[in-house]
Structure 1
């Protein structure tokens, strides 16, 4: 299962390596995100920033939006 939001972020950044560098992680971490691995909350805003806001936090982690609405 490919994470569409991360796929889009990789596309915007130019490569997995570039997105990794912008987010302060190693490229294998981006590969893991892309292939359904969990994305820690601390990296969500880094991904949003790396894409210039083109990929939204709720696209990356829809569960976060649901949690915020529930409170």
Structure 2
């Protein structure tokens, strides 16, 4: 919609509202299923890596001690499906590299062979 020069301010306000509505319709009509697959895949990978880290170390409590956090914190990581970024290094260290930073947080860390 194009407004004539000198149109009343209400007309501009109405046209801005219409533009916002059109943008919202365009935004909502897009197919973002591929993003869900990507995000879901990385979360799944993260939770499996966390499970592996717990198995390598022995238990949630042992991992918690190695990372200098409470067992409840490790339980929260499991519930969230990922390790907080600031704890990734401690988990990698606790597992002596059996689990990589990329395994734990593929959304943040690149694979080791990528430069």
Q: TM-score range by the shorter chain?
A: 0.7 to 0.9
User: Is 1:29 matched with 2:29?
Assistant: no
Instruction: Judge conservation of contact 2:50–2:83 (CA < 8 Å) in 1.
Output: no
TM-score (norm 1): 0.81
Q: Distance in 2 between matches of 1:55 and 1:37?
A: 15
User: Is 1:16 matched with 2:60?
Assistant: yes
Deviations 1:13-51 (A, max 9, x none): 100000000001100111111222552211000000000
TM-score (norm 2): 0.52
For the residue of structure 1 that corresponds to 2:80, the secondary structure is coil
Deviates more, 1:1-10 or 1:53-62: 1-10
* Larger radius of gyration between Structure 1 and Structure 2: 2
Which residues of structure 2 form unaligned runs of 5+?
1-42
Q: Tell me which stretches of 4 or more aligned residues in structure 1 moved more than 6 Å.
A: none
Which residues of structure 1 form unaligned runs of 5+?
none
Superposed CA RMSD in Å reads: 2.0
Partner of 2:87: 43
Closer, same or farther in 2 for the Cα pair 1:54/1:38, shift >3 Å?
closer
**Paired residue total:** 67
Partner of 2:96: 52
